[in-house]
Amino acid sequence: MADDETPEQPASEEPAKKPYHDYHQQQADKHQQQALVDAQVAEDLMSNPRYDAFFAPYQPQVREQFVRDYVSKRHLWTQYGDFYERHLAGNLTQFEEEAYIRLWDIQQKKLFDLQCEWRAELVSVPGVNTSADFDTLGGLIEHCTVIPPITPAELAMYLDWVQQADYEEELHDRDHIWQRYDDVKAQLHAEAEEEARDSAYFFGSVSEWYAFHNQRTGHDRLLHLPDLRGQKEKHYLDAWRAHNKAKREAEPTPAPSAPPDPRPAYIPYDETQRLLGVFAQQFESAALNRQRTSYETANPPSTWEDEELERVLDFLKDIDEPVPIAAGDDWRQALREASYAFRKQKLLASLPQAYEAYCQRQEWGIAQPASEDEPHSTAPWYNKAILKGRKLLGEPKDFNF
């Protein structure tokens, strides 16, 4: 080998990724393919005699202009037509679907009340071994058979609550906690305000439907029942955790390794946005920084309110009926309130229909439709930990405690 030759390097099994993960190249390939298709369509429209009769009433130059417009429009049809077809189909049933989803709030409350009684060892529940199993049942509430079906009286009570509920805070795209016993209990007890705020911040809020239901039924008393089952589970969990801790402490101390890198492993979103400008100022030209300043001035960071306003406008544009808007000082807030009021009335009108369909499926023995998302549950690991704790304490490895 000559002195100036470089030894051949072994080929890397995986090529290094570019900083933008080939996104721009993929987009360029996509647009290039679409450009070829558009060119073929344009060539056909210009030269195929099957279209001559269509263009005969016009001067020749009209055909060329029409073809440019048609190809551009056809591109949009093929690119987004399927999406908007699904979007329009969803608009036809959106209120019925929302009502069906909200209908299960009734069953979630009944399941939580049952959990309170089970924890106090007043009842046994088929298939429930530990408190974590209620989390599983709540995630599959549409198929939960340990609580009775919804009654007309329960629907009437729920309609009363919806009538007075704040749609934005309670019903609009809100994921409430339903079966987290400790967090529900903390948030529904006024004397634990700080604990309730922490619980709501970390785990989500409890629906006001729970408090309304308790006021109507007196079921607030269930929150004051002793949590006997929870105390027993804690006893076994503590044994399991103590065993794991002792096992870790007994392991030999690993050889000292290189000190950890003190630098941050990631940059938070807000800090990233700030650093983008700092980087540009430090390394880009004055001309590009003028462009950056102009762009950012015209496109300030959007807030949740900005994004919600966009969603409201899209919703109102899709509604094919009048939506009354009250006068107010802020047109943005007026639009949002008009949208929420309209959706609330649609929900009130759709809930009886959803209930009627629910009852029909119950009568015919048809399974109630459930969410396609796989529900997450803590029960598998929680139940294993309980059994291990029982074994460590010399007790039978079962749930009879």
Contact 193, 124 (CB under 8 A): no
CA atoms of 343 and 355, how far apart (whole Å): 18
> What is d(CA 386, CA 401) in angstroms, rounded to the nearest whole number?
11
The pTM (predicted TM-score) of the whole model is 0.77
Percent of the chain predicted with pLDDT > 70: 91
In the numeric block, the tokens 């807000």 are attached to: 270
Local structure of 206: helix, strand or coil: strand
Q: What is the pLDDT of residues 345-398, one digit of tens each?
A: 999 999 999 999 999 999 999 999 988 777 778 899 999 999 999 999 999 999
Task: Round to whole Å and give the CA distance between 90 and 94.
Answer: 6
Question: CA dist 293 to 76, 122, 271, 281, 289, Å?
Answer: 32, 67, 18, 10, 6
* Ordered alpha helix ranges (H), 261-303: 269-283, 286-298
Q: What are phi and psi of 263, to 5 degrees?
A: -75, 150
> What pLDDT is attached to residue 202?
61
For residue 80, the surrounding DSSP H or E stretch is helix 60-119
pLDDT in tens, 206-222: 999 999 999 999 999 99
Residue range 313-343, pLDDT digits in tens: 989 988 888 999 998 889 999 999 999 999 9
> pLDDT tens-digit profile of 286-314?
999 999 999 999 998 888 888 899 999 98
CA-based nearest residue to 222, from 300, 111, 107 = 111
As a whole number, the mean pLDDT across the chain is 88
pLDDT of residue 10 exceeding 50:
no
Mean per-residue pLDDT, 34-63: 91
CB within 8 Å of 56: residues ≥ 6 apart = none
Over residues 193-205, the pLDDT tens digits come to 666 565 555 667 8
